[in-house]
Amino acid sequence: MKKILFLLISVILISGCYTTFYPPDSVLNNIPDSADVIVLKPNITNQNTYNDYYDNYYYSPYHYRYNPFWGSYIWDPYYYDSYYWNYRPYYYDGHYIYSHHDHWYYWNDWYGWNSGSSSTTSNTKRDRRTYPRNRRLSGTRASDPPPPLLAPSTRNTGGTITNSNNSPSVKTATNSNSNSDNTNKSSRNSGAKSNSRKSNTSSSNATVTKSHSSSKSQSSNNSSNNSNKKSSKRSRSRKR
Amino acid sequence: MKKILLTILFSFSFLFSQNYIDALSPFYGFKGSQSISIGIGNATVAGGQVIPEFTSNPANLGLQRFRTFELTYTSSEFNSSANNLPQSSFGTFSFIYPLKVYRGSIVIATSLEKEKEFALSYQDIDQNGYTFKQRNEGKIKNWHFALASEISENLFIGADIIIPYGQIDILKEYPNISPDTSGFTQNVDYIGVSATIGMFQIISKHFNWGISVDLPKEININDEFTFNDGYELGNLEYSSTKPLTIHVGASALFKYFNLFYETEWTDWKNMEFSSDDLYSSDVTDINEEIENNLSQTISHHFGGALHMPFLPLHLYGGYQILPEPHSDKNRNVISGGFSYLIKQQISIHGAYQRYYWDYETDNGSIINETWDQIVLGMSVHF
């Protein structure tokens, strides 16, 4: 009787568990090609990863703070910034969206920084599964900017996130790229955490859509702003 | 002839001197070998995000986002008037590994932890008027094998399988009688099994709570008696089962400071003693002693953490009230600690704690006794 009860409890817990492993390839293959791909989060500064979702690295801003002694941002496991309490990715319609306080953080190994441009979106999402996994964050620097924060926007709730060009968050991200470089530099010099986050976010986010021309053009602009870093990142990834 | 008489005397007195204190002793010591837990007064049941260690709630592990190695070293000293007993040893080695998952969190972890340290050194006069000295020294270590997961959004559960083992060496002498024949050493070996299950919930942006249950812990005990002249009296095997303990607590997390609280409840009357080497009537007597002499205890743990702005330095403070199950007295504990990130992925940490209590001798005088411990350690996060 105890064994049956133990099995039942285990089955209930496992089947109802919020935590899930990667879905099978069949799920991936059913992702429509018309689905949007949102690629944010270009910052690679550290080996400390929040998690790995289909070879995408996410960084936990929970434990992220500025250290003036080192002149850089660090991950400190003994520190917790409750501002990020709802910081977690979720999956919707082919997207792995890192949503937190209306901000989306996302970085993709395959699409890298610039997958929003039409020239780099020829690979479908299912290519990620066959692409060699780049788990090592080579070329990382402690002085790189902190994780991005987008400007606040209205969060889509109830699974209504559809096309990125209709998403207030994405629009904000795309628009904020126009003055990203200057803002980024000034924030690094000042060392102010909040400023840095906002500015770096704006400098580092790219929006990708496959099905909407307006987003494509915006992404192309973004890609040109960050062309050096983006191209180097892509080339490193593809060699592997 | 004298030796034979003394041997017989001690044989009877020892073999039949097992009592509820022997059953209680494996669970009664000085706790701690992990810096941060000590620093916040072991108020860790809802510690969650800021304590990358094995705590009283295994569900806390589910919130760890870093693979973590931790190694600590401890140095301690027991003090009772003119007597003292220093000890130093390896403290904890632990490894926490968050698995990569599609959503949520799964963390596995293992640890070899010095859970409790035993220390006692004093001199007194027994009921027959003989002066005797006693010195206890030992420790219990735990092997932990833990798993934690986010079962629902912001709700974590965890389980920890624990294998405790250790030993205590008790030296007892009657200096006024012949030291060779009147003194003896009691080597006690412990090994057992237990488990802890727990739950942790992030209720709001700044508030967590947690609950955990230490399932009954059974310890098998092997006592070996050896006189100072080398004569081995033999051994006695018995087991003692600690009743379940419930931990409940909460934490408030802010950007630059945290507050922690934990209460711990144990009904020691439910402790069980058993032995195949003793007559069943004696086992029954000892269990009756347990019911009559031990009581429920509710301990309180308070802790706080201060995260220095712009510095990877953290300061901790804690206070504990630990009721004794075999008396109406309390032991109190004050503690403090720190952690500092010396490199991006390497941190050093340390803690200090002091147990202090009053011991009332047979003649009614009060002795202030203390036990002080310093812990130093290093962690690697990656």
Taking only the tens place, the pLDDT of each residue in B7-65 is 444 444 444 467 888 888 889 889 989 999 999 999 999 988 889 999 999 999 988 88
A49 Cα to chain B: minimum distance (Å): 7
Cα–Cα distance between B30 and B371 in angstroms, integer? 8
- State the pLDDT confidence band at A174, using cuts at 50, 70 and 90: very low
Q: Given CB atoms, is B256 within the 8 Å cutoff of chain A?
A: no
In CATH, what class is B2-381?
mainly beta
Q: For the residues A127-133, what does the mean pLDDT come to?
A: 33
What percentage of residues in chain B have a pLDDT greater than 70?
Answer: 93
- CA B359/CA B380 separation, integer angstroms: 42
pLDDT-derived band at A148, boundaries 50, 70, 90: very low
Question: Which of A76, A80, A88 has the CB atom closest to B341's CB atom?
Answer: A76
Looking at the complex, does the CB of residue A129 fall below 8 Å from at least one CB of chain B? no
Q: Has residue B332 got a pLDDT over 50?
A: yes
What pLDDT score was predicted for residue A59?
Answer: 55
Percent of chain A having pLDDT more than 90?
A: 0
Q: Output A25 or B334, whichever has higher pLDDT.
A: B334
CA–CA min distance A41, chain B (Å) = 18
Do B316 and B36 form a contact (C-beta atoms < 8 A)?
A: yes
- pLDDT at A15 exceeding the cut of 50: yes
Contacts of A61 in chain B (CB under 8 A): none
Interface of B with A in 258-317 (CB under 8 A): 258, 305, 307, 310-312, 314
Q: Please give the backbone phi and psi of residue A189, each rounded to the nearest 5 degrees, phi first.
A: -65, -40
**Closest-approach residue (CA) in chain B for A50:** B65
Which residue in chain A is spatially nearest to B203 when comparing CA positions? A85
Out of A21, A69, A85, closest to residue B205 by CB: A85
Q: Does the CB of B103 have a partner CB in chain A at under 8 Å?
A: yes
Whether B150 and A19 lie within 8 Å, measured CB to CB: yes
For residue B44, CA distances in Å to B29, B41, B56, B263 come to 19, 8, 6, 10
Domain layout of chain B by residue ranges: 2-381
Give the separation between CA A10 and CA A91, rounded to whole angstroms.
25
Measured between beta carbons, the chain A residues lying within 8 angstroms of B341 are: 67, 74, 76, 78
pLDDT band at residue B219, thresholds of 50, 70 and 90? very high
> What is residue A89's predicted lDDT score, i.e. its pLDDT?
52
Q: Which residue has the tokens 């009904």?
A: B267
The predicted complex's ipTM stands at 0.80
pLDDT score, position B231: 77
pLDDT at B48: 84
Q: Do A82 and B255 count as a contact with CB atoms less than 8 A apart? A: yes
- pLDDT score, position A16: 65
Quick check: A23 pLDDT over 90?
A: no
Q: Please check whether residue B70 touches A, CB under 8 A.
A: no
- What's the pLDDT at A85? 54
Q: What is the pLDDT of residue B303?
A: 95
Name, of A19-23, A198-202, B51-55, the range with top average pLDDT: B51-55
In the predicted structure, residue B269 carries a pLDDT above the cut 60: yes
The band of B141, judged by pLDDT with boundaries at 50, 70 and 90, is very high
Q: What is the pLDDT of residue B320?
A: 95
Q: Which chain B residues have a beta carbon less than 8 Å from that of A47?
A: 345, 382
Q: Taking CB atoms and an 8 Å limit, are B102 and A20 in contact across chains? A: yes
Decide: helix, strand or coil at residue A20: strand
Residue with tokens 């600590």: B72
Nearest C-alpha of chain B: how many angstroms from A91? 8
pLDDT value at position B1? 41
Q: Which residues contact B345 (CB under 8 A, 6 or more apart)?
A: A47, A48, B380, B381, B382
More confident: A111 or A96:
A96
Better-predicted residue by pLDDT, B239 or A8: B239
Q: Give the integer Cα–Cα distance in Å for B306 and B303.
A: 10
User: Could you please report the per-residue DSSP string of B249-306?
Assistant: EEEEE-SSEEEEEEEEEEEGGG-EEE-SSS-HHHHHHHHHHHHHH--EEEEEEEEEEE
pLDDT of residue B220: 93
Q: Does A194 touch chain B (CB under 8 A)?
A: no
* Cβ contacts of A13 on chain B, cutoff 8 Å: 151, 157
Task: Specify the pLDDT at position A151.
Answer: 30
Comparing CA positions, the residue from B230, B247, B54, B79 lying closest to residue B146 is B54
CB B110 within 8 A of CB B96: no
User: With an 8 Å Cβ cutoff, are A75 and B381 in contact?
Assistant: yes
Point out the residue among A75, A85, A90 whose CB comes nearest to the CB of B103.
A90
Q: How many other C-beta atoms are found inside a 10 Å radius of the C-beta of residue B126?
A: 10
Residue of A nearest to B308 (CA): A79
| pLDDT over 90 (residue B343) | no
Q: How far apart are CA B324 and CA B29, in angstroms?
A: 11
A 139-168 → B contacts, CB under 8 A: 142
**Best residue of A82, A99, A135 to probe chain B, by most B CBs closer than 10 Å:** A82
Binning pLDDT at 50, 70 and 90, where does residue B204 land? confident
Residues 23-42 of B with CB under 8 A from A: 36
Probe site for chain A from B35, B37, B63, B102 (most A CB atoms < 10 A): B102
Which comes out higher in pLDDT, residue B100 or B283? B283
Q: Using a CB–CB cutoff of 8 Å, tell me whether B152 touches chain A.
A: yes
Q: What is the mean pLDDT of chain B?
A: 87
Higher-confidence position of B200 and A60: B200
The predicted pLDDT at position A76 comes to: 82
Residue B21, CB-side half-sphere exposure with 13 Å CA sphere: 4
| Mutation to test the A interface, candidates B44, B53, B65, most A Cβ within 10 Å | B65
Is the per-residue pLDDT at A106 higher than 70?
no
Contacts of B253 in chain A (CB under 8 A): 80, 82
**Chain B: nearest CA to A217, how far in angstroms?**
31
**Element at A16 (helix H, strand E):** none
Cα–Cα nearest to B206, from A104, A149, A84, A197: A84
Distance, in Å, from the CA atom of A137 to the CA atom of A147, rounded to the nearest integer, reads 15
Mean pLDDT for chain A?
44
* Closest residue of chain A to B206, computed from CA coordinates: A82
B242-260, pLDDT tens digit by residue?
Answer: 999 999 999 999 888 999 9
Give CA–CA dist B17/B13, Å, rounded. Answer: 5
The confidence score (pLDDT) of residue A79 equals: 86
The arrangement of strands across the sheet holding A95-100 comes to: A88-92, A95-100, A103-104
The size of the A-B interface in CB pairs under 8 A is 123
Q: Quick one: what percent of chain B has pLDDT higher than 90?
A: 51
Q: How far is B187 from chain A (nearest CA, A)?
A: 38
The full length of chain A comes to 240
pLDDT of residue B4: 44
- Within an 8 Å CB–CB cutoff, is residue A52 touching chain B? yes
CA angle A193, A195, A198 (to 5 degrees): 105
A82 has a pLDDT exceeding 80: no
Is residue A169 within 8 A of residue A156, CB to CB? The reply is: yes
Q: How confident is the model at residue A12 (pLDDT cuts 50, 70, 90)?
A: low
Nearest CA among B174, B173, B170, B145 for reference residue B160: B145
Closest CA to A36 of A213, A204, A180, A178: A213
- B-facing residues of A in 66-125 (CB < 8 A) are 66-69, 74-83, 85-86, 88-91
Asked whether the predicted pLDDT for residue B187 surpasses 80, the reply is: yes
Q: How far apart are CA B48 and CA B43, in angstroms?
A: 11
